[in-house]
Amino acid sequence: MHAIMAEPLDTLQTPCLLLDEARLRANAERMRTHLAGLGVALRPHLKTAKSLEVGRIAMASPEGPAIVSTLLEAEYFAAGGVRDMIYGVGIAPAKLPRVVAIRAGGTDLSIILDSLEQAEAVAAHARASGDAIPVLIEVDADGHRSGVAPGDADTLVAIGRTLVAGGAKLRGVMLHAGDSYSLRDPEALAAAAENERVAAVTAAEALRAAGLPCPVVSVGSTPTARFARDLTGITEVRAGVYMLGDLFQAGVGSVAVADIAVSVLATVIGHQRAKGWIIVDAGWMAMSRDRGTARQAVDQGYGLVCDQAGQPYPDLIVADANQEHGIVALRKGSGASLPELPIGAQIRILPNHACATGAQYDRYHVLDGENRVTATWPRINGW
Amino acid sequence: MHAIMAEPLDTLQTPCLLLDEARLRANAERMRTHLAGLGVALRPHLKTAKSLEVGRIAMASPEGPAIVSTLLEAEYFAAGGVRDMIYGVGIAPAKLPRVVAIRAGGTDLSIILDSLEQAEAVAAHARASGDAIPVLIEVDADGHRSGVAPGDADTLVAIGRTLVAGGAKLRGVMLHAGDSYSLRDPEALAAAAENERVAAVTAAEALRAAGLPCPVVSVGSTPTARFARDLTGITEVRAGVYMLGDLFQAGVGSVAVADIAVSVLATVIGHQRAKGWIIVDAGWMAMSRDRGTARQAVDQGYGLVCDQAGQPYPDLIVADANQEHGIVALRKGSGASLPELPIGAQIRILPNHACATGAQYDRYHVLDGENRVTATWPRINGW
């Protein structure tokens, strides 16, 4: 954390990424309280924020636990003192030497996999390196992506036995209810969370019935974490986007627009008045190409436009974008009027997707409650 | 350029960005020859490659000319010896001190604008700094984005007079036929190029008729540069994507798939055989969220899948993507069969959009004609 004298937003070159620290802390606290009430541990996913400073606000302790999406994140957070991590993408055998190197540095990094081929490769590497690499078997909650079917006890047990017999460690099962992102109704989200829970417990029981260990039963996504009502049998919940929030999660209903802690600061660089366009210096490079809200009830274009202080203008969105140009316009059919924003005026844009927009930046400019910049926090990108 | 011993692709950690040097050089040469035949200068746009090594292959000389999309690029290329650049995004007054600082370092950096307000701000800054900042007036070729209408002589002349009288320098006009990206038919593309040319010449003549200087008449986009047949009255053409190529430009017809010089190297990390899915470790973070081909005749998903040596598989695309997972599958309705790609196998993915995919990486791994890695070239991202 690089503390600086609090400075006004006008001193920043645009586009740049802003982080409202009070909103971040409130989002972290809300999820912590919710899951504590359900009696499970929170393992924050650091793939959204990719920042040690943000991670320390979200994690139970500076040592973790946490989950990451790349080995570069694992290396970065391990160097920052995080001692309990999952690398949450199915392991490629060629990545095992990096996993073992991180573990040799004193971080309990576990990996995930969903095939016998991977289990055999991990067991062979565990034997060769003398490190009993801990493994979670990825289980498929909803057909969204990867994972062994929760009812496929034969495959689960075969993978578990291969790991244990081969010198690796079977730590448990993990699931991600990715299809919850397409929902919106709270009842449907609660049902998705329950479906994820049942799939996890089913898989864990299959391993235990075969005499295999399964101490960890890990589930999670921001929507199911937020809408889960009962987590019996689950030991930990993972979620990440909730810390920062974004318009897509607001469309799902798992955060409120007023809780979104990240925004892009941009400057007006032109007008096409006959078309009702305001041109700003934040295009898709600054916002990312993410158009996830296009499939939701409210299409937010490339982002929702706010004044410099962060207050949304009615119906004003980044309607289209080129690489370094955003075209700001009223939502189609809106009865609102275009604000008068002269050349040089600053605006703030709430992003569709915090993970995608954040990845375009190497730092956050951190704001206090009066929209002054109090610090710069670095982000890690890449693999 | 960091020369290394030529190494096989298997030594690389995935995902990572590959650059086929022979294809890059051939793409650069093809555009150079085409424009030389039309008697105009080429000003390569370095916003796609964002690399000094690539820029040196594309530029007429190590000193330029070139155009860039961010001031960070301008600073980076100026530090690398480029002496003639345009910053090709409408200027925000708060950026003028950085422009003057780059110019003070010995680089002839010019800027663009399309309003009297900007012209007044630039003139005031030119007087205050004692630097006669050179300006191109942005002219709107096709209603795509920014620019003064080419027939609006009053505004063009008022901007020109404000600049000249105020102590800045009027260097000319510049246009970008952005709407050409939505075309495909060679005749329509040639017509778009001619439309861009006529708009440019019309605006230049309006300035000259008022006694204002207009030495530079600058047009360009990769499609119109490629399909232009006559560039009478034009002094320079700008283009950028042509160097690397991508599936979107292949869809427009301005590059061939076999000329695409960038690809993402990825590794197979899983299978969902019942669904015909191969899971790889290149998701949308590795490919970018760009889905530009979704609006074209051939939707390439998140990218076209090739074998490790770069040969496309029939109909195999990244059909869907999560942050770090790509779901590889056959195109809908394909009669091809899914290749046998075991866990750990490497594939290469051609991107929809070289600018967007490139921005996810801080370096290129450069390949020789035998797909060996011969060098690592850094890229610059951010603002």
pLDDT in tens, A301-333: 999 999 999 999 999 999 999 999 999 999 999
Cβ-based contacts of B99 with chain A (< 8 Å)? none
Cis peptide before A186 (omega within 30 of 0): no
Show the beta-strand stretches assigned E in chain A: 2-7, 16-20, 41-44, 66-68, 84-87, 108-113, 134-139, 169-175, 216-219, 236-239, 262-272, 277-280, 304-306, 312-321, 326-330, 346-350, 363-367, 373-378
pLDDT in tens, A191-212: 999 999 999 999 999 999 999 9
Residue B178 has a pLDDT of: 85
- B362 Cβ under 8 Å from any chain A Cβ: yes
In a domain, A185, yes or no: yes
Chain A nearest-CA residue for B362: A382
> Under DSSP, is residue B244 helix (H, G, I), strand (E, B) or coil?
coil
- A158 Cβ under 8 Å from any chain B Cβ: no
Are residues B68 and B213 located together in one domain of the fold? yes
Residue B5 has a pLDDT of: 76
Which of A9, A10, A11, A13 is the mutation pick for testing B, counting most B CBs within 10 A? A13
Residue A3 has a pLDDT of: 55
- B364 Cβ under 8 Å from any chain A Cβ: no
Cβ-based contacts of B322 with chain A (< 8 Å)? 145, 178
Question: What DSSP string describes B15-66?
Answer: SEEEEEHHHHHHHHHHHHHHHHHHT-EEEEBTTTT--HHHHHHHSSBTTB-E
In a domain, B2, yes or no: no
In a domain, A248, yes or no: no
Name the domain boundary from B212, B242, B272: B242
Question: What is the CB neighbour count within 10 angstroms for residue A313?
Answer: 18
Taking alpha carbons only, the member of A311, A317, A300, A309 closest to residue A346 is A309
Name the domain boundary from A243, A278, A303: A243
Q: Report the mean per-residue pLDDT for chain B.
A: 96
Q: State what percent of residues in chain B have pLDDT above 90.
A: 94
The answer to whether the beta carbons of residues B251 and B294 sit under 8 Å apart is no
Residue B209 pLDDT > 90: yes
Are residues A288 and A225 located together in one domain of the fold? no
Are residues A361 and A282 located together in one domain of the fold? yes
Yes or no, beta carbons of A70 and B324 under 8 Å apart: yes
Identify the band that residue B184 occupies on the pLDDT scale cut at 50, 70 and 90.
confident
Cβ-based contacts of B343 with chain A (< 8 Å)? 92-93, 115, 117-118, 121
Name the domain boundary from B189, B208, B242: B242
Question: What DSSP string describes B261-325?
Answer: -EEEEEEEEEEEGGGTEEEES--HHHH-S--GGGGSSS--BT-EEE-TTSPEEEEEEEEEE-SS-
pLDDT digits (tens), chain A, 383 positions: 455 679 999 999 999 999 999 999 999 999 999 999 999 999 999 999 999 999 999 999 999 999 999 999 999 999 999 999 999 999 999 999 999 999 999 999 999 999 999 999 999 999 999 999 999 999 998 998 999 999 999 999 999 999 999 999 999 999 998 888 888 889 999 999 999 999 999 999 999 999 999 999 999 998 899 999 999 999 999 999 999 999 999 999 999 999 999 999 999 999 999 999 999 999 999 999 999 999 999 999 999 999 999 999 999 999 999 999 999 999 999 999 999 999 999 999 999 999 999 999 999 999 999 999 999 999 999 99
- A13 Cβ under 8 Å from any chain B Cβ: yes
In a domain, B16, yes or no: no
Are residues A58 and A207 located together in one domain of the fold? yes
Q: What is the tally of structural domains in chain B? A: 2
CATH number of A144's domain: 3.20.20.10
Least CB-CB distance to B324: which of A15, A69, A121?
A69
Are residues B58 and B180 located together in one domain of the fold? yes
CATH number of B334's domain: 2.40.37.20
Residue B3 pLDDT > 80: no
Yes or no, beta carbons of A98 and B13 under 8 Å apart: yes
In a domain, A125, yes or no: yes
Range of the domain at A205: 38-243
Identity of the residue numbered A54: V
Are residues B170 and B111 located together in one domain of the fold? yes
Within 85-114 of B, beta carbons closer than 8 Å to A belong to 89-95, 98, 114
Are residues B187 and B295 located together in one domain of the fold? no
In a domain, B247, yes or no: no
In a domain, A358, yes or no: yes
Are residues A200 and A52 located together in one domain of the fold? yes
pLDDT in tens, B101-111: 999 999 999 99
Are residues A234 and A275 located together in one domain of the fold? no
Are residues A230 and A371 located together in one domain of the fold? no
Identity of the residue numbered B349: I
pLDDT in tens, B304-342: 999 999 999 999 999 999 999 999 999 999 999 999 999
- d(CA A181, CA A381) in angstroms, rounded, equals 24
Are residues B232 and B284 located together in one domain of the fold? no
- A7 Cβ under 8 Å from any chain B Cβ: no
- B173 Cβ under 8 Å from any chain A Cβ: no
Nearest CA-CA distance, residue B320 and chain A, Å:
9
Are residues A188 and A223 located together in one domain of the fold? yes
Residue B252 has a pLDDT of: 93
In a domain, A26, yes or no: no
B50: left (phi over 0), alpha (psi -120 to 50) or beta: left
Yes or no, beta carbons of B291 and A286 under 8 Å apart: no
Residue B279 has a pLDDT of: 98
